[in-house]
Amino acid sequence: MSSESESLDAELETTTLDGEGVDLSMVIDLQRCTGCGACNIGCAQENNLQEGMAYSSRIIETNGEFPNVSYEYTPTLCNQCDDAPCAEGCPTSALHKGKGGITMHDHETCIGCKSCMINCPYDEIHLNEEDPHPTWESEEATIESGTASARAVKDRAGVDDDVDAPAYYNPNREVSETEHPTRYKGIVEKCNFCVHRLERDELPRCVEECPCEARIFGDRNDPDSTVNEVLAKYNPDVLKADEGTEPSVNYVRDYNGGSYERGTGEPGLGD
Amino acid sequence: MSQHDTTDDDDTDLWIGRRDVMKAGAVGAVAAGLGSSLTSLTPLAQAEDGRTDLVEHTGDWRPSTCAGCTSWCAAQVLVDDETDRVLRTRGHEDSRIHGTNDCPRQDLGIQQLYDPDRITQPMRRTNPEKGRDVDPEFEPISWEEAIGEIADRIMELRENGEPETFMVTRGRYTYLRPILYSYLPQIIGSPNNISHSAICAEAEKFGPMYTEGEWSYRQYDVQQSRYVLAWGADPISANRQVSHYSNEFGDLLDRATVAVVEPRLSSTATKSDEWLPVEPGHDGALASAMAHVILRDGLWNREFVGEFEDGENRFVPGERVDPETFEESENSRGVIEWWNEELYDKEPEWAADEAGVPAEQIERVATGFAEAGPNAISWLGGGPCMQVRGSYTAMAIHALNGLVGSVGNRGGTLYAPSTGVEDLPAPDEYVDEVAEAGLDHEKIDQRGRLEFPALKDGESGGGVVTNNAADGILDEDPNEIEVLISYWNNFAFSNPESQRWEEALAEIPFHATIETHASETAWFADVVLPATHHQFERWGQLRSTGAGYRTINLHTPVMADDPDDPEDVLENGRLWDVKTDETEIPYLLAEALADRGFENLLAFFETEYPDPESGRSLREEIPGDDFESRELRAQAFSRNALKLRTRPIWDPDYRENEFDWPGGEEFDDWVEFRERGIWHTDEWEYRHRWPSEGGEFDTDTGVFEFDGETLRNALEGHAERHDTDVDTVLDVCNYQGRVDDPDAPDAFVPHYEEPYDMGDEDDYPFNFVDYKDRLNREGRSANTPWAQEFNDVNPGDEPGKDLAKINPRDADRLGIEDGDEISIRSPVGEIESTAKLWEGVRPGTVAKTWGQGHWAYGRVASDEFGDEARGGSNNVVIGAEYDRLSGSSVFYGDVRVDIETR
């Protein structure tokens, strides 16, 4: 395990959930990010996401004209806004602010009305228009009696037929009372900082998965947290600040760190 | 049918039901949670049918290795304790190179393991016709039948006295490879074992070989470097310790300047200080101009290169230097010859015209690089040298490291420390007369002929010419190929002008292939043998190199609780009825050949591959002649081979008494090592090969050569073999360099040659820029949904699409709009693609990520399996040309195409 992950893990273990005392926050160091997408793949596997539904996602922009071109890769996820318009506008309070400031979703009270999707300025809430992973229902083989089928692989891998998941189904979400392991048709879903992992003192999967140690996670209200150290060191930014939603996901430094004036950056967190 | 549809709520629903049970516990948890650890959010009660803890806390992290690219990262695999299901992978926590960091390619592994399109058991072709449009009509057969068919064919060749018509092709491998790749054909009697190496990056090895005597890839000391100048290398995206370089890159940007020479905006270029968008094929002009600037401005490293006797810099543009005035360092030779023959007139303005990069940028980068020296890296990738005249470019780019003294130095370009692994027992005593006669034949790739010098390690014909084997087969020159075993490769897709391989494979009377998927190559096979997945289901060994170390990494069958027990592995260690290409299949073949009266292979395995711990031979451990016993012995053989290979690492007695131990970590027994799965060398010692430090370079002269003396010897050796001169060799091989010709570049010093266009510029006005997909696991990931869903990690690409990137200025001129369906046509082939207008490509070029265009492999990789390709395969338009000095196939620089809307 990387030194950064180890120290963030240690912080997490000593973090106390004291009423309003904990404000879980993520900082993404864009200079460390290499746009590799490991976060997105890890998230998809941790949360058994249907293809095309990415809690951990990205905004990619290319600007300028050849040869003066800049390329920016911005990793995105639910911002767990302090003033979360998705929660404010939810008629059943299925979306609500939970412990640690996480914007939680209760699948049992969700009626799939989509008002949260309209209210979220970040497009981070997704509707299940069908039960997930329908392709994993298939019993068809490419070469009869020579290649496998989706159902056959699930069977070999020990995943029940009625679990709407791939053969590499991750049972981790079963441990949390607040999550449904795979979701189902008619409700929305979103990132919750992997609350099932947080409950077991493990970092969100995207943080752990990042090979560049670009994601820093911890308690904003702990003055000694790495999150606060990083936020103090750089000039943090949030997406769409003018929306006034007070995101808990901050960004520091620039993806195209090399084009910045050299010598202005501090040594990275891995040091 | 939905179990979870809110419109059809059902109390018996698995998950809803569980939630109901847990509600009481949940309330308690929140109340108890006040003022306590986050852990107290944990539900107090759990339903019987759900998990109570994360798999990370209940399962096992078991060691293995990712071979999704040649980074070969040591890995750990999380195996679920309840189902033995593989849940996730990561870098090995004990690795000093990458720790738990892995790149996204490794994360795709589980989608390969659990791919519904995997081959689950052996198959036999029933349709005798072969062709891309011909359904092979495969039918399932047993392993015993499949192995028996192959053995029958081999026996026939030997009985006919033509064992040389047997052939093995290899792609990816582990270091158990000699068994199938070398020893099997050797004992049968065929010289025709053809590796993929020359479609990988052999030209990259040519640069260090003919400057410092290392036919090898490098490691780069990024943690200590102050300047990184990358040439067609994309270290945060593709190939060689991506995990390590990705992790270091953010800090590197603080510490160092990073400049990238690349015709398209690569992943690394997007984050760098300087992008030098070179015109394809002209990299060598930049390298020569940079060397010129470094010498002109007196920025070279005196300790490594030397100094003028009076200290006056005589490197004046346009003027040659009297060698007598310069005192060479004891570390290198020939800088004056390099200047006089090549560099003296290669001014930045000249290079700017050739390469399309501003002169001031060339000056700035050269100066910055040299001033940072010796903590500076000239990082050679495949791009500038997998070109028709790429060998000389490779030399020029690597020689820059010599100029600034970064060779083997802190913050520079390093090699790997020696490792504590043993050669596998070799079969020389088991080669009979029939085999010896067969082995005397020329190889099917025609290496070593006048037109294919392939000068690996300085030897004429020392290296492979992978792609030319297709022509050898088609022309039956030097002989016909009757029986082919291919493994862990897909030559019908991965070689340039791959359509030739389709023809060649269709010609071979009997072809058995060992693969995880029904690839384009398998489409032509007579017998398809399903392979284990390398990271999860088999034994093997690879190695990683970085951060000053090399590690030896084990592949283990992670789903078996006791991998040393062959029964456990066969019962629990595989998802399907699959076997390991390099070990189990040769073993079963050996038994079948012995049944048919040829016992040498089996005698070799039985005698030379006992369990080194117990001393028991395979048959002593597992007696019995039924096929099941043979399968168990095959698995024991696999385990024994790995134990023998790594014995010095885990057997103290052997290490101390039987082996020249290079230092490094020491283990006391096999299980201790196997359970950890990774071993480290000692750390690289800076400058230890410098003659001034008492070392020696592996060139013919023992020093670093700027004058190509070792190349001179190699070229003269090749010319002599063909009773001709070096100029004829170079002429036949399409190079411009000549010996003692004032109008041509010097044949031996690193130098610039103009690109060799594959296609007329009028008919094919664009340069085709090919590069490898960041999520491409060496061509094996296209059937994983994540590789498609997230392929926008390649700058300019979009999820799920196969795009040809065109500069908007060109598109405007041609009337092509974003999203237009276009065709890309070269002299050898045509593919269909979708246009993407993007400023990250140089006008005059079309850039396209390599990896799409499968028409077989599976239902995700292809549009319709066996029928319709998903996107276009770059290899259809890239002609079969070669950098003949290295034997490499050409992918870059010289490929010309035309594009039009469809």
- What does the angle CA A176 – CA A181 – CA A184 come to, to the nearest 5 degrees? 130
Q: Residue B843: its chain A contacts at CB < 8 A? A: 66
Going by C-beta distance under 8 Å and a sequence separation of 6 or more, which residues neighbour residue A219? A11, A15, A22, A23, A24, A25, A100, A225, A227
Q: Return the residue of A nearest to B841 by Cα.
A: A66
pLDDT digits (tens, 9 = 90+) for B171-197: 999 999 999 999 999 999 999 999 999
Tell me the percentage of chain B whose pLDDT exceeds 70: 95
Is residue B340 assigned to a domain? Answer: yes
What is the residue-wise DSSP string for B126-156? -----STTS---EEE--HHHHHHHHHHHHHH
Q: Return the residue of B nearest to A75 by Cα.
A: B793
How far is the alpha carbon of A244 from chain B, nearest alpha carbon, in Å? 28
Q: Coil, helix or strand for B857? A: coil
Q: Residue A203: its chain B contacts at CB < 8 A? A: none
The pair of three-digit structure tokens given for residue B741, joined into one six-digit string: 């010709």
Least CB-CB distance to A143: which of B22, B25, B518? B518
- Amino acid letter for position B769: V
pLDDT digits (tens, 9 = 90+) for B550-574: 999 999 999 999 999 999 999 999 9
Q: Return the residue of A nearest to B576 by Cα.
A: A156
Could you tell me the pLDDT band of residue A39, with boundaries at 50, 70 and 90? very high
- What does the angle CA B474 – CA B479 – CA B484 come to, to the nearest 5 degrees? 70
Side-chain half-sphere of B276: how many Cα atoms within 13 Å? 32
How far is the alpha carbon of B103 from chain A, nearest alpha carbon, in Å? 6
**With 70 as the cut, is the pLDDT of residue A262 above it?**
no
Task: Give pLDDT, residue A137.
Answer: 95
Could you tell me the pLDDT band of residue A91, with boundaries at 50, 70 and 90? very high
User: What are the angstrom distances between the C-alpha of B762 and each of B355, B448, B758?
Assistant: 20, 35, 12
Answer for the pair A102, A192: CB distance below 8 angstroms, yes or no: yes
Could you tell me the pLDDT band of residue A259, with boundaries at 50, 70 and 90? low
Is residue B382 assigned to a domain? Answer: yes
- Inter-chain residue contact A255 with B110, CB threshold 8 Å: no
- Inter-chain residue contact A257 with B253, CB threshold 8 Å: yes
Q: Residue A181: its chain B contacts at CB < 8 A? A: 15
Taking the C-alpha atoms of residue B229 and residue B573, their distance in angstroms, rounded to an integer, is 45
A-B contacts at Cβ under 8 angstroms:
333
Question: Are B809 and B698 in the same domain?
Answer: no
Q: Coil, helix or strand for B571? A: helix
Mean pLDDT of B775-784: 95
Least CB-CB distance to B251: which of A63, A100, A271? A271
Could you tell me the pLDDT band of residue A9, with boundaries at 50, 70 and 90? confident
Answer for the pair B54, A202: CB distance below 8 angstroms, yes or no: yes
Q: Coil, helix or strand for B236? A: coil
The pair of three-digit structure tokens given for residue A230, joined into one six-digit string: 């990083």
More confident residue, A19 or A256: A256
Which CATH architecture does the domain made up of A3-259 adopt? 2-Layer Sandwich (3.30)
Least CB-CB distance to B50: which of A15, A64, A174? A174
Mean pLDDT of B692-699: 98
Could you tell me the pLDDT band of residue A11, with boundaries at 50, 70 and 90? confident
Least CB-CB distance to A258: which of B33, B111, B258? B258
What is the residue-wise DSSP string for chain A? --HHHHHHHHHHHH-EE-TT---EEEEEETTT-----HHHHHHHHHTTPPTT--SSEEEEEEEEETTEEEEEEEEE-----TT-HHHHT-TT--EEE-GGG-EEE-TTT-----HHHHH-TT---EE-SS-S-GGGG----SSTTTB--HHHHHHHTT--TTS-S-TT--GGGGG-TT--SS--TT-EE---S-HHHHTTT---HHHHH-TT--EEEEETT-TTSHHHHHHHHS--B-TTGGG----SEEEES-TTGGGSPTT-SPP-TT-
How far is the alpha carbon of A50 from chain B, nearest alpha carbon, in Å? 10
Last residue of a domain, one of B663, B680, B708: B708
Q: Residue A15: its chain B contacts at CB < 8 A? A: 37-38
How far is the alpha carbon of A227 from chain B, nearest alpha carbon, in Å? 17
CATH number, residue B806? 2.40.40.20
Task: Give pLDDT, residue B50.
Answer: 87
User: What are the angstrom distances between the C-alpha of B568 and each of A56, B404, B558, B635, B637?
Assistant: 38, 56, 11, 10, 15
**With 80 as the cut, is the pLDDT of residue A186 above it?**
yes
Task: Give pLDDT, residue B877.
Answer: 98
- Inter-chain residue contact B107 with A41, CB threshold 8 Å: yes
Could you tell me the pLDDT band of residue A13, with boundaries at 50, 70 and 90? confident
Torsions phi, psi for B769 (to 5 deg): -110, 105
Q: Which segments within B718-819 are labelled E, that is strand?
A: 766-772, 803-806
Mean pLDDT of chain B: 94
Question: Are B255 and B400 in the same domain?
Answer: yes
Answer for the pair A190, A125: CB distance below 8 angstroms, yes or no: yes
- Inter-chain residue contact A168 with B138, CB threshold 8 Å: no
Taking the C-alpha atoms of residue B234 and residue B381, their distance in angstroms, rounded to an integer, is 8
Could you tell me the pLDDT band of residue B647, with boundaries at 50, 70 and 90? very high
How far is the alpha carbon of B899 from chain A, nearest alpha carbon, in Å? 20
Could you tell me the pLDDT band of residue B19, with boundaries at 50, 70 and 90? very low
- Inter-chain residue contact A268 with B254, CB threshold 8 Å: yes
Lowest mean pLDDT among B22-36, B201-215, B610-624, B691-705: B22-36
Q: For an interface test with B, which of A97, A143, A206 has the most B Cβ atoms less than 10 Å from its Cβ?
A: A143
Candidates B233, B389, B284; CA nearest to B881 is B389
Question: Are B372 and B239 in the same domain?
Answer: yes
The pair of three-digit structure tokens given for residue B566, joined into one six-digit string: 């062959």
Q: Return the residue of A nearest to B120 by Cα.
A: A147
Q: Residue B140: its chain A contacts at CB < 8 A? A: 145-146
Question: Are B704 and B800 in the same domain?
Answer: no
How far is the alpha carbon of B287 from chain A, nearest alpha carbon, in Å? 20
β B803-806/B845-850 pair status: antiparallel
**With 90 as the cut, is the pLDDT of residue B761 above it?**
yes
Q: Return the residue of B nearest to A100 by Cα.
A: B38
**With 80 as the cut, is the pLDDT of residue B699 above it?**
yes
**With 60 as the cut, is the pLDDT of residue B103 above it?**
yes
User: What are the angstrom distances between the C-alpha of A88 and each of A84, A103, A109, B815?
Assistant: 6, 11, 15, 49
Q: For an interface test with B, which of A127, A144, A174 has the most B Cβ atoms less than 10 Å from its Cβ?
A: A174
- Inter-chain residue contact A33 with B15, CB threshold 8 Å: no
Task: Give pLDDT, residue B601.
Answer: 98
Is residue B529 assigned to a domain? Answer: no
Mean pLDDT of B214-222: 96
Is residue B283 assigned to a domain? Answer: yes
**With 80 as the cut, is the pLDDT of residue B30 above it?**
no
pLDDT digits (tens, 9 = 90+) for B336-351: 999 999 999 999 999 9
Going by C-beta distance under 8 Å and a sequence separation of 6 or more, which residues neighbour residue B598? B154, B155, B158
Going by C-beta distance under 8 Å and a sequence separation of 6 or more, which residues neighbour residue B805? B264, B796, B836, B837, B838, B840, B841, B846, B847, B848
Task: Give pLDDT, residue A2.
Answer: 56
Tell me the percentage of chain B whose pLDDT exceeds 90: 94
Task: Give pLDDT, residue A52.
Answer: 92
Does the ipTM surpass 0.85?
yes
CATH number, residue B208? 3.40.228.10
The pair of three-digit structure tokens given for residue A43, joined into one six-digit string: 């998230």
Q: How many domains does chain B have?
A: 2
- Element holding B603 (H helix, E strand): helix B600-608
- Element holding B326 (H helix, E strand): strand B326-328
Q: What's the distance, CA A242 to chain centroid?
A: 22
Taking the C-alpha atoms of residue B187 and residue B163, their distance in angstroms, rounded to an integer, is 10
- Inter-chain residue contact B88 with A100, CB threshold 8 Å: no
- Inter-chain residue contact A157 with B575, CB threshold 8 Å: yes
Q: Which domain holds residue B819?
A: 766-901
Could you tell me the pLDDT band of residue B14, with boundaries at 50, 70 and 90? very low
**Spans of all domains in chain A:** 3-259
**With 50 as the cut, is the pLDDT of residue B23 above it?**
no
Least CB-CB distance to A147: which of B6, B55, B120? B120
> What are the b/e assignments for B754-779, b being 16+ CB within 10 Å?
ebbbbbeeeebebbbbbbbbbbbbbb
Taking the C-alpha atoms of residue B707 and residue A248, their distance in angstroms, rounded to an integer, is 60
- Inter-chain residue contact B236 with A34, CB threshold 8 Å: yes
Going by C-beta distance under 8 Å and a sequence separation of 6 or more, which residues neighbour residue B326? B306, B307, B308, B309, B314, B335, B336
pLDDT digits (tens, 9 = 90+) for B33-63: 333 344 334 343 344 478 999 999 999 999 9
How far is the alpha carbon of B302 from chain A, nearest alpha carbon, in Å? 28
The pair of three-digit structure tokens given for residue B225, joined into one six-digit string: 């470097």
**With 60 as the cut, is the pLDDT of residue B17 above it?**
no
Candidates B332, B336, B333; CA nearest to B692 is B332
Mean pLDDT of B599-628: 98
Q: Residue A112: its chain B contacts at CB < 8 A? A: 6
pLDDT digits (tens, 9 = 90+) for B457-475: 999 999 999 999 999 999 9
Cα torsion for B753, B754, B757, B762, to the nearest 10°?
-170
Task: Give pLDDT, residue A16.
Answer: 63
